[in-house]
Amino acid sequence: MRRFLFVIIMALLANAMQGQVMYPGDTNNDGVANYLDLLPIGIAFGIEGEPRPGASEGWFAQPFFPWDYNLPTTPWVNGGYINANGDAIIDTLDLDAIIANYDLLQDTAMPIPWLHNLPCFTCPQPEFLITYDKDSVKVNEPFQAFISVRYPGPVPVEQGALGVAMELSYDPELVVEEAVEITPNTDEAALMFVTATSIDAFGYRLPAPGRMQISAAGRGQNAFFKDSTLVATVSFIVIDDIQRDTVFRSFKLNVESLLFLNVFEELLNPILLNPDSVVLYQPLDPVSEAPVLEMLEAFPNPAGKWLRVRADRVTDLPYLRLWNVRGVMVREIEPATSREWTIPLEGIPNGAYWLETYLNGMPWIDKILVQN
Ligand SMILES: [Ca+2]
Ligand SMILES: [Ca+2]
């Protein structure tokens, strides 16, 4: 802590002196150009100051005249760091250097960790939500994740969030890494974006496979205050062979880090809503030409001591299998020719499961909750 204070004091002293240096794209001067560097641009949007003599977007130490402007709650970040392109104003043109220098490191501009300890106690909590377009998806097929920010009802603009910066992770062995694509929601005209995946063509050192970084921020104004704002859509393709010990795998985006700031650079405390996952599966031993079944239903759901499965006519099902979220089969029955079957659930812990069978030669999957 003492060392941290010392570093802050040194940086404030350095701010007061002429001739300090900056690296274009490291707008918060924390030593790396990345998704976090969008937020200072959003907070300081439209601020004007001294141009940087001989400015370049190249990644080398560039002297600048300190601006009169510092970030509100991290005052060791001077406007001269944020002005990445070196002109006389902070605006969207300052974004380019973040992308061009993504994940490059520097330690000669006296970088300081960019930490926020000043929360807004009176601001409503934004909800951060990840959902998917499908419950289950086959090998080689695409699916999408939707990342949104919500408020239970619209809040006044000044009570909202300026922007959000996040790092997400997933199992890189389940999807085609080269095909992972982040599409920012540019329909939200107020927002600016920085996105990065491990194969983003613009970067040098990029997030590792299975990682992505996304930030979205308003331009000098809180951009999140509506009941729901889509931030980005992420597209995935399931790899062609997910089979290890099982034909089922669970896919989920995990939230590794999440930073919400408002226009006063105060910290907002988000509510994380990330309950969903997607079943990735690989059809094995398909059944040829079963009698045409229109419908299969499993009930009750949530299920207690037993689960019943009903078809719309008498039929042969090859099997009924129950898989847990780790892809382990926990029950299998060989159903007799009938139109209704019962699966006993004794000994199966509470939680989410997938019921799997074949219907008309196609896999049929249903998500089941067991609650005893
Ligand atoms: Ca930075
Ligand atoms: Ca600028």
Q: Could you write out the DSSP letters of every residue in 9-59?
A: HHHHHHHHSS-EEE-TT-TT-SSB-SGGGHHHHHHTTT-B-PPPTT--SSS
Domain of residue 21, residue span: 2-100
The number of the ligand nearest the C-alpha atom of 104 reads 1
Cα distances from 57 to residues 105, 201, 279, in angstroms, run 14, 17, 44
- Ligand 2 centre and the CA of 269: distance in Å? 30
Alpha-carbon distance of 254 to 265, in angstroms, equals 25
Q: Could you write out the DSSP letters of every residue in 297-347?
A: EEESSSBSSEEEEEEEEEE--S-EEEEETTS-EEEEE-PPSEEEEEEE-TT
The number of the ligand nearest the C-alpha atom of 84 reads 2
- Ligand 2 centre and the CA of 85: distance in Å? 5
Phi–psi pair at 79, nearest 5 degrees: -55, -30
CA 172, chain centre distance (Å): 14
Picking from 108, 94, 112, the residue whose alpha carbon sits closest to that of residue 37 is: 94
Pairing of strands 136-138, 248-251: unpaired
- Ligand 2 centre and the CA of 80: distance in Å? 9
In a domain, 189, yes or no: yes
The number of the ligand nearest the C-alpha atom of 101 reads 1
- Ligand 1 centre and the CA of 75: distance in Å? 15
What's this model's pTM, rounded to 2 decimal places? 0.75
For residues 175 and 254, state if they share a domain. Answer: yes
Alpha-carbon distance of 222 to 218, in angstroms, equals 6
Alpha-carbon distance of 279 to 262, in angstroms, equals 36
The number of the ligand nearest the C-alpha atom of 92 reads 2
pLDDT at 112: 95
For residues 55 and 162, state if they share a domain. Answer: no
For residues 89 and 134, state if they share a domain. Answer: no
- Ligand 1 centre and the CA of 111: distance in Å? 9
Cα distances from 11 to residues 179, 194, 299, in angstroms, run 42, 27, 64
Per-residue pLDDT of the chain (372 residues; tens, 9 = 90+): 444 555 555 555 555 554 599 999 999 999 999 999 999 999 999 999 999 999 999 999 999 999 999 999 999 999 999 999 999 999 999 999 999 899 899 999 999 999 999 999 999 999 999 999 998 888 889 999 999 999 988 899 999 999 999 999 999 989 998 899 999 999 998 999 999 888 764 444 567 789 999 999 999 999 999 999 999 999 999 988 766 545 778 899 999 999 999 999 999 999 999 988 888 887 765 444 444 556 788 999 899 999 999 988 888 888 899 998 878 889 999 888 888 899 999 999 998 898 988 877 777 888 899 998
For residues 241 and 359, state if they share a domain. Answer: no
Alpha-carbon distance of 55 to 85, in angstroms, equals 7
For residues 131 and 216, state if they share a domain. Answer: yes
The number of the ligand nearest the C-alpha atom of 79 reads 2
- Ligand 2 centre and the CA of 89: distance in Å? 4
- Ligand 1 centre and the CA of 126: distance in Å? 24
CA 93, chain centre distance (Å): 25
For residues 250 and 318, state if they share a domain. Answer: no
- Ligand 2 centre and the CA of 220: distance in Å? 14
pLDDT at 336: 84
- Ligand 2 centre and the CA of 224: distance in Å? 24
In a domain, 324, yes or no: yes
The number of the ligand nearest the C-alpha atom of 40 reads 1
For residues 214 and 274, state if they share a domain. Answer: yes
The number of the ligand nearest the C-alpha atom of 102 reads 1
For residues 247 and 179, state if they share a domain. Answer: yes
The number of the ligand nearest the C-alpha atom of 25 reads 1
pLDDT at 330: 93
In a domain, 174, yes or no: yes
Q: Which helix (DSSP H) or strand (DSSP E) does residue 97 occupy?
A: helix 96-100
Amino acid at 1: M
The number of the ligand nearest the C-alpha atom of 109 reads 1
Alpha-carbon distance of 207 to 82, in angstroms, equals 23
If one counts the domains in the chain, the total is 3
For residues 249 and 196, state if they share a domain. Answer: yes
The domain that contains 269 carries what CATH number?
A: 2.60.40.680
pLDDT at 246: 55
pLDDT at 11: 53
Last residue of a domain, one of 82, 100, 118: 100
Last residue of a domain, one of 62, 83, 100: 100
CA 50, chain centre distance (Å): 36
Ligand 1 (ion): which residues have CB within 5 A? 26, 28, 30, 37
Phi–psi pair at 352, nearest 5 degrees: -95, 140
Amino acid at 163: G
- Ligand 2 centre and the CA of 88: distance in Å? 6
Alpha-carbon distance of 94 to 87, in angstroms, equals 9
Dihedral through CA 57, CA 63, CA 64, CA 66, nearest 10? 130
